[in-house]
Amino acid sequence: MPSFLPDFELPSDPSKVVRLREATVADAIDFSEVDPQCEEEATTLFFERLQAKEKYSDPKRWTTEDRRFALFMYHLHTTKFPDIPLTYVCDLCTAATGKQVQHTVSVKLADIAADYTPMTGKPVRDVVHEGHAVLVHPVYGADAELMEKARMDILEEEAATEKRARKKRSQLGMLRLLSSLDVPGLAPDASEEERRVKVEQFILDMGAEEFKEFRSKVLEAVADLRHGLKSTFQDGRVLLETPPVRCEKGRDKEGPGLRLQFHFRAFDYIPNV
């Protein structure tokens, strides 16, 4: 019988307690239907399947940071190894030798966990722009899946034509911004999802300088919403960041060190069949 792992709280909402069981071979067979490139879809399925019914909450309503933290906690309680090996290209050594130099470092799980930050206050920040009350919030799992689909569309377009791919990348950038905000005053009686078209038009009507100011306000609020493990968005994908690592040749003794970005995916913790 699969065993349950220790409970933990979601970083964005400590009132939500998550209880997971270990994945089984039967789970692995079911998960095999999901395209390995669809990380967010797999993450949703992973937590829908493995949560205890008495503690269940919708993983599509978890923030992307909640979802990565939950995967990290699953790995922490099921692995026998205290660290993760990561290989990267060292720019300092590459520049010094004139050829590409790779280093492999072992990043301790305990050091990654030490970067944990709880949510400060409620998971929303108020921003005022041109008289409009703008609500800024973290990206949730449902929108992470939408960005994932948009990124897949870009990859398909790049295979066909660069012109269409550039437009798709711009649309992905807009979706990333829309995923973090709402302007209730544009349609007070509608839901956030129903308002999204109006919010998008609200942004599209901005001039370049106004948009620069607006985006700066949103990004500042997003930074203040940091919670869970240190992570970042890159081309519509969520990446975890390591604590600073050092060049093994000692070429960066004076610098702040390098934070490596890496994927932390549900597929990595499903039993192989």
Alpha carbons 272 and 262: distance in angstroms, whole number: 21
144 in any annotated domain? yes
In this structure, the answer to whether residues 73 and 197 fall within a common structural domain is no
Kindly state whether residue 1 falls inside one of the protein's structural domains: no
Residue 52 lies in a domain: yes
pLDDT above 70: residue 270: no
Domain extent for 257: 83-117+232-262
Cα–Cα distance measured from residue 36 to residue 20, given in angstroms and rounded to the nearest whole number = 22
Q: What is the mean pLDDT of the chain?
A: 89
Same domain, yes or no: 143 and 216: yes
- Position 273 scores a pLDDT of 59
> In terms of domains, do 103 and 133 share one?
no
Q: What is the distance between the alpha carbons of residues 253 and 244, in angstroms, rounded to a whole number?
A: 12
Candidate from 52-61, 141-150, 160-169 with smallest mean pLDDT: 160-169
pLDDT tens string 203-235: 999 988 999 999 999 999 999 999 999 998 887
For residue 3, being part of any structural domain is answered with no
pLDDT tens track for 90-145: 988 998 899 999 999 999 999 999 999 999 999 999 999 999 999 999 999 999 99
| Each residue's pLDDT tens digit, 12-35 | 999 999 999 988 888 888 887 888
Domain check: are 194 and 133 in the same one?
Answer: yes
**Same domain (yes/no): 135, 202:** yes
Q: What pLDDT was estimated at residue 102?
A: 93
Same domain membership, residue 65 and residue 26: yes
Which pLDDT value is given to residue 34? Answer: 82
Whether residues 40 and 172 fall in one domain: no
Q: pTM for the complete prediction?
A: 0.84
DSSP symbols for 22-47: ---HHHHHHHTTS-TT-HHHHHHHHH
Helix (H, G, I), strand (E, B), or coil: what is residue 181?
strand
- As for how many domains the chain has, the answer is 3
Say yes or no: 215 and 238 in one domain. no
Positive or negative torsion for Cα 62, 65, 67, 73:
negative
Residue 17 lies in a domain: yes
Q: How far apart are CA 119 and CA 11, in angstroms?
A: 6
Q: For residue 151, tell me if it sits in a domain.
A: yes
